Chains A and B, each alone.
Chain A
């Protein structure tokens, strides 16, 4: 009798779903819609990146990209609002912002800002006080994260300093920033510099769920990531056509970073938080676009497809009972 029960138990064990032993169910890789190689670009034209220098413009030095960190202005809750990963990885919720001043005409200013995958227009006024240009500009207000910028630029200086205040009650309602004047040009030769480790944000998951503001905007992007290795400093997927041999021994994290470095070179503003934090720390990186689908070279498209293929396989099969 005992033996029959034993058999029954084994039978029950075997018919229970063992599918997750041979493949990971959450096999989706981070592949944002606006970086897909197959999808056609949206018909809505992109904001002009860098408005052509207008000779009649009285302030050509002011027009262009101003880039730097968009910091939490409230110093007292810095630690409380920070996000912590493992092995000392922490992030104070600062994002790289690109404030683009597109047009100044008779004291009227038009521009846009790109930060954390969000491209928002602004408009307002510029006044001159001695050697200082003072800007007061506002975002339209139809986005939850819209607000008002006030900043100033010293004459003949490449520094822009200011603050930002949200219209709505959001998690971090005030920001401060000190930005540098930068020019953006796609350069396939750009390589990662060892400035910030790309690490496993899995342990920060709890913080992400509590963080209602970010979640509403971008969804829950906390995925358990492999840490990346030094391989990410060696492989350039924008200049070299990668083969199977180049990618077959790379782990998930490396494949992810090598693929996303292509996007970073094109100035893609990352919605995914761990990727954003990693690329923001690259000195050359400037967030310029929120949609780069029409910007890839043919070589990059091929590499992206190859890398994605291996990444998906690694995600689904790397640590399971199976061959892959």
Chain B
């Protein structure tokens, strides 16, 4: 193995290490809601909404499905798995698509409608879940039509939005620990920044990929 390969390998390990570390933190956040508890964590500030049955269903659907979406997606960009274990790629891919289209995105839309921070923040969440649904559906339809290039591009966009779960919380952590803004001001920034930033990175990635 030459040096260049070694660095590539190291870079990948680092990237996956960071990704799985944050997925692990998301698992810890999810565990707070097991068993079902209407007072836990984020729900402490959603006491009016949690009285509504449809909100309740949406919230727990979103929390329990999204963690698997995050995890499944993490394996889908590996060339090794795609080439040598294509059955795994297909199975994980189907589960990823089904979980988003049937559970995570629709429940996200309902939650977005009741989001904290007023119209401005609610619009961000609703738009996010609509785009998430759209990109995932497009990617799915593309692979049914065997258009691999298009499938890849939309999956990059889809997973970029999936990762907004992490980036939103990371931006919030950054702002709270540096600028120390009041909580709702911080929130109104990260509800947009959390996924626009990811989308921009994804588009740059797609562009770079096409140039190669």
Contact = CB atoms under 8 A, between A and B. Distances in A.
Interface of A: 3, 6-7, 10, 13-14, 18-19, 21-23, 244, 248-251, 309-310, 312-314, 317-324
B17 A322 contact: no
Given A22-B28, A251-B182, A6 B13 contact: yes
Contacts, number: 79
Contacts of B29: 22, 322
**Chain B interface mostly:** helix
Nearest to B175: A319
Interface string B134-178: 000000000000000000000000000000000011101100110
Contact of B45 (A7, A19, A309, A318): A309
Interface string B1-41: 00000000100010001001100110011001000000001
Contacts of A319: 173, 176-177, 180
Contacts of B9: 3
B79 interface: no
Contacts of A13: 17, 21
Contacts of A7: 13
A309 B43 CA distance: 11
A310 B45 contact: yes
Interface in B168-200: 168-170, 172-173, 176-177, 180, 182-185
A18 B24 contact: yes
A249 B184 contact: yes
A97 B111 CA distance: 52
Nearest to A21: B25
A323 B42 contact: yes
Given A3-B9, A248-B116, A318-B183, A313 B44 contact: yes
Contacts of A249: 182-185
A210 B25 CA distance: 38
Nearest to A324: B42
Given A14-B20, A309-B47, 9 more contacts: A3-B9, A6-B13, A21-B28, A251-B183, A318-B176, A320-B176, A321-B172, A321-B173, A322-B41
Nearest to A19: B28
Nearest to A314: B183
A222 to B, nearest CB: 21
Contact of A324 (B17, B25, B41, B170): B41
Contact of B44 (A6, A18, A309, A320): A309
Given A18-B28, A321-B170, A323-B172, A312 B44 contact: yes
Nearest to A323: B42
A115 B172 CA distance: 42
B147 to A, nearest CB: 35
